Amino acid sequence: MTALLHITALSLKLNFRNRMAILYGYLFPLIFLVAFWAIYRNDPVPLALHVGQFLTVTVLGGACFGLPTTIVGERERGVWRRYVLAPVPRSTFVISILAARYVLLIIAALLQLALGLAFGMPLPLHPFDLWLGFSLVAFAFMAMGMVIAMLVGNVPAVQALGQCIFLPMLMIGGVAVQLESLPAWAQHIAAFFPGRYAVDVLQASAMGTGLTRLGFDFLALGLIGLAGSIAAAGMFRWDRSFAPNKAWVAVALGIWLVVGVLAELQGRITLQTAQDTQDVGTSRNYMASKSAPAPETSWRDVTDADYDKIAFNHLPPDTGIISPVSRADEVPDPVIVPELDRIRDALPAWAPGNVADPVQRTRNLLMLAAVPDILQMEQVERFVPRLVFARLQAVIPPRDLPRILYWIAMHPDDGDDAAIHQLQAFGLPDVTGPGKPARGRIMLYAFKLLGRLTGHIPPL
Amino acid sequence: MSAAIVVQGLTRRYGAVMAVDGISFAVGAGEIFGLLGPNGAGKTTTLECILGLGRPDAGRITVCGVSDSRDARARIGAVLQATGLQDKITPREALDLFRSFYPKPVATDALINRFGLREKQHAAYDTLSGGQKQRLALALAFVGDPQVFVLDEPTAGLDPQMRREVQDHICAMKEAGRAVLLATHDMDEAERLCDRLAVIAGGRIVATGTPKDLIAGSQGSRLEDVILQLTARS
């Protein structure tokens, strides 16, 4: 035990004397964090929806590069050859180097979380779950790092092999690039990488509902860690002159295949296509007949017969990423509840939502639903429309609201869109650029609320 | 003189290559026993088997009467080729670390003083000279206050002054009643330090005896000539 503590403590001390180790171990994770913050700067809650991603990057980097570089470097120098001459169980050296790496990963993660908090990220909701999930992810990835360390013979080879795992996991494994942003084929491939399960576990622990609903992800990471550990033990070598039996790699990678197949067979790979930025078309796209509707001169001329001309079934589904609307029984993630409360509280006093012209007032309020949708504000975008619909029903007379909604849907380019720059009261960013996409979403939400009011779509 | 190291019928193969082929010898307490032979003769493989770094295919090894490799390692202090330390570790830290591996270690300060490391005790390993690194290697071998020393070419690459210093430390080991197994290429060193020698060639011991006996029993007048004759013959 004394030897274990001594080696662990010394490994940590030596790590802090190594500039490159500090650069890779601490600076890079912080740079990744800042990058996430910059990329998702329009998120309603800074970084809160990306904790799983940036923590996974840290563990993955430590596993693919930090751990094997240390082990292979020391093995090359004959440090381990010297260690094993001591009358200490050899497992002591392996455990201590893993323990030191685990502590280093924890420190890096704490630094990331601290910087995240400074950027406005809320405190993790489930600290114990986060620690547990982080430990499991570390176990899975460090086992992978041990496989790399046993497989390669020198430090440059660690970099080469590490990049072969690190970069694909980042780009198409659901770690740096969100799964939703990936094409369908990549989302299927991501199921075979441990990265996506790590992100799920860490995100749910930090900002979601905890680990209780993540049995499969837990199992996947556990199996990947176990298989990696077995493979690394099978290939273990103290001395670079010993050749490892590379057949063990099949055990480590085989479990990735098993996990991916299980995920596919169990239907856990839900595909979402990234179409959110595409043009949603004009109102004609949502009419039963392609012929132009009879022109009205005022929203007051709209009749019930006009509503029947709309093909409500052409509208994007509420469950999609274009103009989404949450289900009536859907409970928001706890992390976005404060944000939703803030919007609900700010709505009555919001000046654009109280202008005299009821059409412009409606258009302005629909803007509040449209902007989070454009910005793909995860989860928030699904619940804000419900708040907007409720507010519209409170401030627009029931007899007028369907006609105004129809009018807006038919004339999305009319009126003023200055309200897009007055959303800071809700904690939403000031959206710059052309207002056309927002007007398209206003049209869709007008259609969707109209459909609910007229009975063409099931009510909220 | 009781035997501190006993090697009987040691055999070690690497694939089709027979690195060590049934060699036997014993080293007594207070004795320096030299292993001589050309590169690839099997010297290092023999030492590695004694230290538990390699597993013999056949034969038996006991150190101070113990055959279990881990128990044996507690009784051995070793200086091997191709071993090193982390670049940024200091001599004091290395000694403190290795002390934690042994039940009754020698005090760090005593080792630092004995091996002249006082000035460099807080210097990073990668800033030490070759001689200072070798002093540290010897100090680490002494940490566990071992009964047996296994030294693989401990003076290789050192300047004459440092070589003599290391040789003096080896003599001191003998005077303290320790058994020393020394593999070397340096004939002068072998002749000066070793009580007995075993000449290895092709994985086998081709001759054993004191340096004087080996010289007397051959046509050469110098140990180097004797070794060349013996290894060429084999």
Q: What are the structural domains of chain B?
A: 30-53+75-233 (3.40.50.300)
Given a cut of 90, whether residue A8 has pLDDT beyond it is yes
| DSSP-derived pairing of the beta strands B148-152 and B179-184 | parallel
Comparing C-alpha atoms, which of A252, A247, A191, A250 is closest to residue A224? A252
In the predicted model, what is the mean pLDDT of residues A163-191? 89
Q: Are A333 and A377 in contact (CB under 8 A)?
A: no
Query: How many angstroms separate the CA of residue A24 from the nearest CA in chain B?
Result: 17
pLDDT band for position A134 (cuts 50, 70, 90): very high
Q: Is the pLDDT of residue B233 over 70?
A: no
> For residue A84, what is the nearest residue in chain B, using CA coordinates?
B53
Ranges A288-292, A394-398, B69-73, most confident? A394-398
Confidence of residue A275 (pLDDT cuts 50, 70, 90): very low
pLDDT of residue A433: 52
Taking CA–CA distances from B149, the nearest residue in chain A reads A85
* A239 at B interface, C-beta within 8 A: yes
Task: Identify all chain B residues contacting A3, using CB atoms and an 8 Å cutoff.
Answer: 100-101
Structure confidence at residue A255 (pLDDT): 95
pLDDT at A151: 93
Give the up-direction half-sphere exposure of residue B122: CA atoms within 13 A in the CB hemisphere: 0
A81 in contact with B, Cβ within 8 Å: yes
What pLDDT is stored for residue B186 in this prediction?
A: 86
DSSP secondary structure of A78-116: THHHHHTTSSS-HHHHHHHHHHHHHHHHHHHHHHHHHHH
In total, the C-beta contacts within 8 angstroms joining chain A to chain B are: 68
Question: What number is the average pLDDT over the span A246-273?
Answer: 86
Instruction: Identify the closest residue of chain A to B95 by CA–CA distance.
Output: A6
A297 versus B59: the higher-pLDDT residue is B59
Q: Do B78 and A87 touch (CB under 8 A)?
A: no
Among A82, A91, A237, pick the best mutation site for testing chain B contact (most B Cβ within 10 A): A82
- Residues from B in contact with A at Cβ < 8 Å: 51-53, 70-71, 73-74, 76, 78, 80, 82-89, 93, 96-98, 100-102, 124, 140, 144
Whether A238 has its CB under 8 Å from any CB of chain B: the answer is yes
CB within 8 Å of A207: residues ≥ 6 apart: A48, A49, A51, A122, A124, A125, A333, A334, A335
| From A2, A14, A87, residue closest to B89, measured CB to CB | A14
Q: Kindly identify which residue of chain A lies nearest to residue B150, measuring between CA atoms.
A: A85
Phi, psi of B201 (to 5 degrees): -150, 135
Phi and psi for A337 in degrees, rounded to 5? -60, -45
Of B228 and A70, the structure prediction assigns the larger pLDDT to A70
pLDDT above 70 (res A129): yes
* Residue B19 with chain A: CB contacts under 8 Å: none
- A86 and B101: CB-CB below 8 Å? yes
With beta carbons under 8 A apart, name residues in chain A contacting B101.
3, 86-88
Nearest CA in chain B to A70: B86
Calpha distance B136→B126 (Å, rounded):
12
Return the exposure string of B100-128: e unless at least 16 CB atoms fall within 10 Å of the residue's CB, then b. Answer: bbbeebbebeebbeebebeebbeebbeeb
Query: What average pLDDT score do residues A203-211 get?
Result: 77
In the prediction, which pLDDT does A278 show? 58
Percent of chain B with pLDDT over 70: 97
| A82 Cβ under 8 Å from any chain B Cβ | yes
pLDDT for the residue numbered B25? 95
Query: Do B98 and A77 lie within an 8 Å CB cutoff?
Result: no
Cross-chain residue pair B93–A77, CB shorter than 8 Å: no
3-state secondary structure of B98: helix
pLDDT average, residue stretch A279-301: 80
Averaged confidence pLDDT in chain A:
88
Residue A382's CB is within 10 A of a number of other CB atoms, namely 22
Query: Would an 8 Å CB–CB cutoff place A18 in contact with chain B?
Result: yes
Q: What is the mean pLDDT of residues A353-378?
A: 88
CA nearest to A93 within chain B: B101
**How many Å lie between the alpha carbon of A247 and the closest alpha carbon of chain B?**
19
Query: How far apart are alpha carbons B111 and B108 in whole angstroms?
Result: 5
Look at residue A270 in the predicted model and tell me its pLDDT.
Answer: 65
At position A400, the amino acid (one-letter code) is: D
**Residue A419 in contact with residue A352, Cβ under 8 Å?**
yes
pTM for this model (two decimals): 0.74
- What value does the mean pLDDT of chain B take? 89
How many angstroms away from the CA of B144 is the closest CA of chain A? 9
What's the pLDDT band for A288 if we cut at 50, 70, 90? confident
Read off the pLDDT of residues A16-48 as tens digits, 9 standing for 90 and up: 998 888 888 899 999 999 999 998 876 656 787
| Residue A335 pLDDT exceeds 70 | no
Tell me the per-residue pLDDT of B134-143, one tens digit each, with 9 for 90 and over.
Answer: 999 999 999 9
- For the cut 60, the answer to whether the pLDDT of residue B201 exceeds it is yes
In this prediction, residue A276 carries a pLDDT of 53
Report the C-alpha gap between B117 and B133 in whole angstroms. Answer: 10
**pLDDT for A381:** 87
Ordered by start, the domain boundaries in chain A are 2-265, 283-454
Q: What is the mean pLDDT of residues A278-282?
A: 75
Which chain A residues contact residue B80 at CB under 8 A? 78, 81-82, 85
Mean pLDDT comparison of A203-217, A305-319, A324-338, highest-scoring range: A305-319
Does A346 contact chain B (CB < 8 Å)?
no
Cβ-based contacts of A14 with chain B (< 8 Å): 86, 88-89
Kindly report the nearest CA distance between residue A137 and chain B, in angstroms.
28
* Substitution target from B47, B87, B90, B100 for chain A, most A beta carbons within 10 A: B100
Judging by beta carbons within 10 Å of its beta carbon (0-12, 13-18, 19+), is residue A226 exposed, middle or buried? middle
Q: Which ipTM was obtained for this model?
A: 0.87
Most B-contacting residue of A69, A77, A85 (CB-CB within 10 A), to test interface: A85
Q: Among B50, B81, B83, which would you mutate to test the A interface (most chain A Cβ atoms within 10 Å of its Cβ)? A: B83
pLDDT of A170 above 50 = yes
CA distances from A168 to A164, A213, B204 (A): 7, 27, 53
* Average pLDDT of the segment spanning B201-216: 88
Question: Which among B71, B88, B96 has CB closest to A14?
Answer: B88
